[in-house]
Amino acid sequence: MLHSAVEKAKIPKDEAPTYNAVELTKNGSVARIVLENQIYTLRITRSGKLILTK
């Protein structure tokens, strides 16, 4: 189930998966994403923006 903040967002009506960044980080500010043996870091900034770095 999506968090209420995500439920209020205007999510496109396609079949792409939608994730809540706060849930991805387990209520923290950092999550790691692996793609083809590369590790990416997703960060939630203090101002609530997302940064994805390799």
d(CA 50, CA 54): 14
**Helix then strand then coil, % of the chain, to nearest 5:** 15, 30, 50
Domain extents in the chain: 4-53
Q: Could you read off the pLDDT of 1-38 as tens digits, one per residue? A: 455 555 677 777 888 898 899 999 999 999 999 999 99
CATH number of 4-53: 2.10.70
Task: Quote the pLDDT of residue 33.
Answer: 97
Q: Inform me whether the pLDDT recorded for 47 exceeds 70.
A: yes
**Residue 22: partners with Cβ closer than 8 Å, 6 or more residues away:** 3, 5, 44
The per-residue pLDDT for 6 is 59
pLDDT score of 27: 94
